[in-house]
Amino acid sequence: QKEVEQDPGPLSVPEGAIVSLNCTYSNSAFQYFMWYRQYSRKGPELLMYTYSSGNKEDGRFTAQVDKSSKYISLFIRDSQPSDSATYLCAMKPGNDYKLSFGAGTTVTVRA
Amino acid sequence: SQTIHQWPATLVQPVGSPLSLECTVEGTSNPNLYWYRQAAGRGLQLLFYSVGIGQISSEVPQNLSASRPQDRQFILSSKKLLLSDSGFYLCAWTPGDIGETQYFGPGTRLLVL
């Protein structure tokens, strides 16, 4: 079993729809949770960062962490074609240098 | 603000040739530095990380090596490339100490023929 599970998709939605992405994990020591966006042939870009459980909102993006279920989510409201990318979840314990990554979900927003 | 650079952006090398990829970070001091490889359609594989000059931790045994000759410079090397070394190489950094998250560079695409 992988430490972080993420459905690779692909996921295709019409413009304006809500995109829902999620990851599950097995390590209860994870405390920091991140979502990265990666455009084709580019480096990952940090989108959202959350510490412990709870919700965080930034514009059209909302990140949720449920540590009791070991489940994290990213929601993109009013999706745009420019949101078409691969989304990677990542997480780490508080006392470790290393991140554990999901495999990434490829999202296409159709105009 | 902090900036991370990688070069070259793209590289095509024959099997058995040497490799040197460079990563530099600007606007910070004493960062933690990381090398990842991302194969096509696959996730990120941590190769090396460094918490200071001359301090390198290897995550995956292979024909690659890393060095950190200066505080904000991280180099990935190989004496003889294999076909399986092809991939997208990413450098990342975090602020000193443990760091809460990582920031990635633009990447180097390596094709070994």
Which CATH number characterizes residue B70's domain? 2.60.40.10
Q: Which of B88, B90, B101 sits opposite A46 (nearest CB)?
A: B101
pLDDT, tens only, A51-92: 888 899 999 999 999 999 999 999 999 999 999 999 999 999
- For residue A82, report the phi and psi dihedrals to the nearest 5 degrees: -70, -10
Tokens 């991280």 belong to which residue?
Answer: B74
pLDDT digits (tens, 9 = 90+) for B9-33: 999 999 999 999 999 999 988 999 9
Q: For the segment B93-109, what is each residue's pLDDT rounded down to a tens digit?
A: 998 665 678 999 999 99
Q: How far apart, in whole angstroms, are the C-alpha atoms of residue A92 and residue A85?
A: 23
Which residues share a beta bridge with A84?
none
ω into residue A10 within 30 of 0, thus cis?
yes
By Cβ distance, the residue of A44, A97, A103 closest to B104 is: A44
Determine the pLDDT at residue B96. 67
Q: Does domain A4-110 have CATH number 3.40.50.261?
A: no
Predicted local confidence at residue B99, as pLDDT: 63
**How many alpha carbons fall within 13 Å on the CB side of residue B9?**
4
What digits encode the pLDDT tens for the residues A17-60? 999 999 999 999 999 999 999 999 999 999 998 988 889 999 99
Q: Do the Cβ atoms of A51 and B100 come within 8 Å?
A: yes
**Beta bridge partners of residue A37, listed in sequence order:** A45, A87
Name every residue whose Cβ is closer than 8 Å to that of residue B37 and which is 6 or more positions away in sequence.
B44, B45, B47, B87, B88, B89, B90
Give residue B25's domain range: 3-112
Structure tokens at A102: 């999901």
- Tally of domains within chain B: 1
Mark out chain A residues that contact chain B at CB-CB < 8 A: 8, 32, 34, 36, 41-46, 49, 51, 88, 90, 94-99, 101-104
Q: What is the DSSP letter of A3?
A: S
- In 3D space, the residue among A99, A81, A79, A82 whose CA is nearest the CA of residue A90 turns out to be A99
Residue B61 reports pLDDT greater than 80: no
Task: State the Cα–Cα distance between residues A97 and A83, nearest whole angstrom.
Answer: 29
Is A96 in contact with B98 (Cβ distance < 8 A)? yes
